[in-house]
Amino acid sequence: MKKFLWYWAPVILYAGLIFYLSSIPITGLPGPGPAAFRDKYWHLLEFFVLAALLLRAGQGYRWRHAYYFAILFAILYGALDELHQSFVPGRVASIVDVAMDGVGALCVLVFKKWKR
């Protein structure tokens, strides 16, 4: 049980944080660049962290395909998050946001391979 909590509690808590933040009706996000692009930066950062946590959990269990799992699960969670946002007043679902989620997740793979 300790091993499960050590590897999966951060993933579950962070996914819950993403869900909570997606539940907030928002008018603008802080960040660099024009207002239209700020949201994209946050999506990239959010899902980079989620994929990194998923990769950590998968490697902790010595899963052979932990990289693929982390990326695919992060993208799937991003798509479900966009569906969730479509029910929040003032928020809309966007395929571009899902794409940015995927880019953030893929950046983990690039970062990990480059770091070696």
Half-sphere exposure of 105 (CA within 13 A, CB side): 24
Distance CA 62, CA 110 (A): 20
| 24-69 residue pLDDT tens | 887 655 555 565 677 788 889 999 999 999 999 998 888 888 889 9
Instruction: Name the pTM for this structure.
Output: 0.85
Calculate ∠ Cα 66-19-31, nearest 5°: 95
